[in-house]
Amino acid sequence: MRKRLLCVLLAALCLLTACQKAPEPVEFSTFSMNTFMSFAFYGEGETENQRVQDRVNVTLRRLDSLFCVNNEYGDVNQINRSEGRRVKVDAPTAEVLSRSLELCELTGGALDITAYPAVKAWGFTQEEHRVPSPGELAELAGKIDYTAVGLEGEWVTLPAGMELDLGAVAKGYAGDQLDQIMRDAGISSALLNLGESTIVAVGGKQDGSPWRIGVVDPARPESYFAVVELEDMAMGTSGGYQRYFEQDGVTYWHILDPETAAPARSGLASVTVAAPSALTCDGLSTALFVMGLEDGTQFWRDHRELEFEAVFVTEEGAIYRTAGLTGRFSLAEGYEDREVTVLE
């Protein structure tokens, strides 16, 4: 009888264990930095989970306030209205400026955070689009020069007539900060979506597999042409399909070439970058888009210290990826017959 009862108990225990549900992620969303963001993480308890959510929301509100060009009390707005005077900024602003200026220098100015006057002239700030004249573009290009930004500790100087725009790096910087919040809370599995174009993977999935992130088809933005597997990595994408307007049969997108102050005509439709830092991903995806396939590939070869990999899609639809994505890159359903060139 005891043996029979023991068998029943063991069977019930096995059944209970088998029927236990996998832990559910904590999911929440917010609107920040002019985009919809969503987050999912596996926490340890309701109280701690709420603390993590609160820290995420507080951090995003602070960074959005500091970096927003339209917030008259924010650091970037203060710098842009400084007329050449020194401005003291908060530590996050000083840090994002320092890291951004390093990328500007590394990319030879293909990334330039002083292009805001040109962005405004094209109407991308208020969605009141127009095509500036050649003379206006030449004048605007003369005001784009990241080397004119002075940064000493938490003091910033910018010549009168120039303006900063951190749009190419702000979400990436925020992603790096949220990544650290998760790790400080002991969270080892999270997916942070800061507006589709900026993704941060903290660890892998709860089952030990990597996160699988779709790469948008620039010709059909409602579809994904490929999947990249991420684990303790970030991913950022820049593409002409994200923001653009058409006039007289010509498409003009928001990614500007600092040399011309006009939309970059590099032959690329999109660039996706995977790297440990989300800021690196965002900044480099913009810079590589401006450089084009050949120069972008050479930059990848020359700067392995940045630990990034890339996927390039040309305007003709050709797909190229760097060799470091081998085993982590696959074509999506419906795109299996597309040719992919591996860059060595």
pLDDT digits (tens, 9 = 90+) for 127-147: 899 999 999 999 999 999 999
Residue 1 has pLDDT above 90, yes or no: no
Distance CA 128, CA 107 (A): 30
Distance CA 290, CA 314 (A): 12
CA within 13 Å, CB half, 96: 29
How confident is the model over 154-181, as a mean pLDDT? 97
How confident is the model over 243-249, as a mean pLDDT? 95
Distance CA 216, CA 196 (A): 9
Domain 70-157, CATH homologous superfamily name and number: ApbE-like superfamily (1.10.3980.10)
Q: What is the pLDDT of residue 196?
A: 81
> What residue segments make up the domains of the chain, in order of their start?
70-157, 210-344
Instruction: Classify residue 326 as exposed, middle or buried by CB count within 10 Å of its CB (0-12, 13-18, 19+).
Output: exposed
SS3 333: coil
- pTM, two decimal places: 0.92
Q: What is the pLDDT of residue 126?
A: 87
How confident is the model over 49-54, as a mean pLDDT? 95
Topology of the domain covering 210-344: T-fold (3.10.520)
How confident is the model over 54-78, as a mean pLDDT? 97
pLDDT > 90: percent of the chain: 91
pLDDT > 70: percent of the chain: 94
Torsions phi, psi of 3, nearest 5?
Answer: -65, -40
Residue 269 has pLDDT above 90, yes or no: yes
Owner of token pair 């600092």 = 258
Residue 18 has pLDDT above 90, yes or no: no
Q: What is the pLDDT of residue 12?
A: 35
Instruction: Classify residue 46 as exposed, middle or buried by CB count within 10 Å of its CB (0-12, 13-18, 19+).
Output: exposed
Residue 193 has pLDDT above 50, yes or no: yes
How confident is the model over 153-170, as a mean pLDDT? 97
How confident is the model over 273-286, as a mean pLDDT? 98
Residue 184 has pLDDT above 80, yes or no: yes
Contacts 24+ apart (CB under 8 A), 124-133: 124/243, 124/254, 125/69, 129/245, 129/247, 129/252, 131/247, 131/252, 132/261, 132/262
Q: What is the pLDDT of residue 21?
A: 58
